[in-house]
Amino acid sequence: MTWFYVERGNGRPLVLLHGIGMSHAAWAPVLNKLAGHRRVIAFDIAGFGQTPALPSPLTADAFVDGLRQSLNDLGINEPVDIVGNSMGGWLALEAAKAGLARSVVGISPAGLGTHDDVPTHIRLTFSSMRSVAKYAPGISNSLLKSPLVRALAMSIPVSIRSFRMPSFVAQQALQDFANAPGFDETLEIIKPVRGIEHLDMPITIAFGRLDWILIGEMQKGDRLPAHSKRLKPWGWGHVPMWDDPAGVAKVILEGTA
């Protein structure tokens, strides 16, 4: 099964992988900026957006195999530059272990901590957002028309600057978050990525200073190889594409040059 994707531009392939509950649309603010330099392929990871979920039980290897097959179906059989945000960063690192990556840029990537259990604050944030969107869609969509409400409601899982998102984009993102069939099972398998200290390709990791979902030891990345580049951009939240489109594109293009 080829994962759903959106493609722009020409040149060496650049793969974009979104965060949990999201879709390729998370990359919309930077897509054209990147496509001016590269052939950009933004996937809907299995179980999210327009790509059906993988069969249970889910494993990290199954996601890597799905990504590999989707790349092969696009005629890409060599290691490729992979950019991932949050869950997508976790998958990018797992893919790098499997030999799929020429380089990796992780924007607030999951998988760098040391604990297997999903932190309580993440569970509570995700479950409350999904419940409101599922059971009161009319109210949530109406409230999201307000820039202030968008900023407050999405400050932790996305960014305090979510007021920069058009209301219809925020509404669709919340519905994607609520209705993703792979959400719950996928959340449980996102574990610390083992063995990344041995990776030898270029790796750039960026955690925004306003990332309030992956906090503390989840940002440490002590097991990353010594050559990896670490960034702490000002003004970036957990999903910073609306915060600083030009800055995010610059980090991606430099990290995959």
> Angle at CA 86, nearest 5°, toward 94 and 223?
50
Least confident of 9-13, 128-132, 210-214: 128-132
pLDDT tens track for 94-140? 999 999 999 999 999 999 999 999 999 999 999 999 999 999 999 99
pLDDT tens track for 131-148? 999 999 999 999 999 999
Name every residue whose Cβ is closer than 8 Å to that of residue 164 and which is 6 or more positions away in sequence: 242, 243
CATH match for 5-116+190-255 among 3.30.420.40, 3.40.50.1820, 3.40.50.720, 3.40.50.11290: 3.40.50.1820
At residue 193, the pLDDT reads 96
Residue 83 scores a pLDDT above 90:
yes
- Determine the Cα–Cα distance for residues 214 and 204; give it in Å rounded to an integer: 17
pLDDT tens track for 149-192? 999 999 999 999 999 999 999 999 999 999 999 999 999 999 99
If you average pLDDT over residues 204-224, what whole number do you get? Answer: 95
At residue 221, the pLDDT reads 87
Can you give the residue ranges of every domain in the chain?
5-116+190-255, 120-179
pLDDT tens track for 45-79? 999 999 999 999 999 999 999 999 999 999 999 99
Residue 251 scores a pLDDT above 90:
yes
Q: Using only the alpha carbons of the chain, give its radius of gyration.
A: 17
